[in-house]
Amino acid sequence: MDFDLPEPVRELAAQARAVAVELAAEAHLPEDSWLIGNDRDVARELGARKWLGMTWPVAEGGHGRSPLERFVVFEQLIANGAPIASSWFADRQIGPTLLQFGSPAQRRRFLPDIVAGTSAWCIGMSEPDAGSDVASLRTRAIPHGDGWRITGRKVWTSGAAHADWCYLVARTDPDAPPHAGLSEFLVDMRSPGVIVSPIVDMTGNQHFCEVVFDDVAVPGDLLVGAPNGSFKQLMRQMEHERGGIDRLVSNRALYIEARAHADHDDPLVRQEIAALESTYHIGRLLVLREMLGQAPKGFSAATKTICTEHEQRVARFCGRVAGTQAMLWNRVSRSICYAPGYTLMGGTTQILRNILGERVLGLPREPR
Ligand SMILES: Cc1cc2nc3c(=O)[nH]c(=O)nc-3n(C[C@H](O)[C@H](O)[C@H](O)COP(=O)(O)OP(=O)(O)OC[C@H]3O[C@@H](n4cnc5c(N)ncnc54)[C@H](O)[C@@H]3O)c2cc1C
């Protein structure tokens, strides 16, 4: 059996790698480039290369390419540190969500700019008192004329300071059971009443933000899918968010450098490298299975857990290889400080293990 990728796909991967290396050379950092590497020119370049909306139907403005082709392009871009954050959320999950749940008018209006790399999006789910438990979120959308007025506070909103649009979840029916009263909106970040305050993280970076919505007017045609039907839509959107290659290779560039400097004569180091290589290859196969639509429903919870725990082990390995150098502020120490976020964002490992146990494996719940 031939496990290698087909020749044209290998050629595409080589092309993407060359582009990524060039883009990364201009960038601030190769690590976590899909999340913190905001660069609108890079987004437009990806659009011009037809690398955005790659697998979306041609009739919807996409390029009709195969999931495998998209997989190798983004594996190379992210593993080599191309700063793709300005287009990543839209390409990874907003576009696919609009394709599935958006109205024809919404798809006609928003997909072309996403495919061209000219609109940047952020995701407004988490709130100060609603992270893991999205159903408890309090941001309210109240009917007003033909549209809505939205008031509330979102937090940890990645890329909000650069975004043109926010994919926002808000409560539309306060009397319904918590998970049944939520709806999704496309909110123009330039609307009066949107206040964005960047938050400085432990590494000094300011990629995520607090976003206040103070009586923001949203037209009625910008509600996505079913009114009060967000919960089901969100579950689908999270599959896009959790099962991708971004969860495996965020710090791959640093690992490759550390591996080259590691003491290969030390059997313990060799053993650690062997374990990291094995989990990397298992993770890559799991992501491929997600991309090809072969993973069981809900299994992205396992894929993300395995992949992001691998990224954390990579950060620790790089720290051990660097030794006392890791006490200084540099790429390694930054990576160690950043790593806890891998198993928080997109759903914490504890929550994902709950999903896996209860919804995927159907294990009995412990009686309360
Ligand atoms: C780098 C980064 C980027 C992010 N970007 C975005 C973004 O763009 N948009 C957005 O909306 N959000 C974003 N988030 C927020 C992220 O989705 C939340 O941090 C995450 O869902 C957890 O929510 P919380 O922080 O409120 O923690 P909590 O939900 O308060 O959880 C605290 C701890 O309790 C545990 N816990 C909670 N409930 C249970 C349970 N039922 N069983 C077992 N353990 C439990 C959790 O696992 C965690 O360890 C980002 C977070 C990070 C770190």
Amino acid at 67: P
Residues above pLDDT 90, as percent of the chain? 95
pLDDT digits (tens, 9 = 90+) for 304-314: 999 999 999 99
Cα 170 to ligand 1 centroid, rounded to whole Å: 17
| Measured CA distances, 307 to 3, 145, 263, 316 (Å) | 21, 46, 25, 15
150: Cβ below 6 Å to ligand 1? no
Mean pLDDT within 253-265: 97
Distance from the alpha carbon of residue 344 to the mean position of ligand 1, in angstroms: 5
Ligand 1 pocket test, pick from 169, 348, 365 with the greatest ligand atom count within 8 Å of Cβ, gives: 348
Q: Could you tell which of 133, 155, 156 is best to mutate to test the pocket of ligand 1, judged by most ligand atoms within 8 Å of the CB?
A: 156
Mean pLDDT of 76-104: 98
DSSP state for residue 359 in the 8-state scheme:
I
pLDDT of 243 reads 94
How far is the C-alpha of 48 from the C-alpha of 244, rounded, in Å? 23
CA atoms within 13 A on the CB side of 262: 24
Does ligand 1 lie within 6 Å of residue 199's CB atom? Answer: no
Is there an atom of ligand 1 within 6 Å of 123 CB?
Answer: yes
* Residue 366 confidence (pLDDT) above 90: no
User: Across residues 165-194, what is the average pLDDT?
Assistant: 97
CA of 102 to the centre of ligand 1 (A): 27
Angle between helices 230-242 and 300-322 in degrees, nearest 10 = 40
Q: Which two tokens stand for residue 310?
A: 């691998």
Specify whether the CB–CB gap between 91 and 52 falls below 8 A.
yes
Count how many Cα atoms sit within 13 Å of the Cα of residue 160 in the half-sphere of its side chain: 28
Q: Are 154 and 125 in contact (CB under 8 A)?
A: yes
232 C-alpha to ligand 1 centroid (Å): 19
Q: What is the DSSP letter of 358?
A: I
Judge whether 241 counts as a catalytic residue: yes
Distance in Å, CA 130 to ligand 1 centroid: 8
Mean pLDDT, rounded, for 149-153: 98
Question: What percent of the chain is helix, strand and coil (3-state, nearest 5)?
Answer: 50, 15, 35
The closest of 161, 121, 151 to 218, measured between CA atoms, is 151
Candidate from 11-15, 145-149, 224-228, 237-241 with smallest mean pLDDT: 237-241
Q: What are phi and psi of 123, to 5 degrees?
A: -120, 115
Is residue 119 classed exposed, middle or buried when 0-12, 13-18 and 19+ CB atoms within 10 A define those classes? buried
pLDDT tier for residue 166 given thresholds of 50, 70 and 90:
very high
**Is the shortest distance between the CB of 106 and ligand 1 below 6 Å?**
no
Sign of CA dihedral 199, 204, 206, 208: negative
- 1: confidence class by pLDDT, cuts 50, 70, 90: low
**Smallest CA separation from ligand 1 atom 23, residue:** 131
DSSP H or E run through 153 = strand 147-158
Say if ligand 1 is within 6 A of residue 205 CB.
no
Identify the residue whose C-alpha is closest to ligand 1 atom 35: 350
Token pair for residue 306? 């395995």
pTM: 0.95
Does ligand 1 lie within 6 Å of residue 136's CB atom? no
DSSP 244-297: SGGGT-TTHHHHHHHHHHS-TTSHHHHHHHHHHHHHHHHHHHHHHHHHTT-SPT
What integer is the mean pLDDT of 180-202? 97
Q: Which of 127, 241, 272, 290 is catalytic?
A: 241
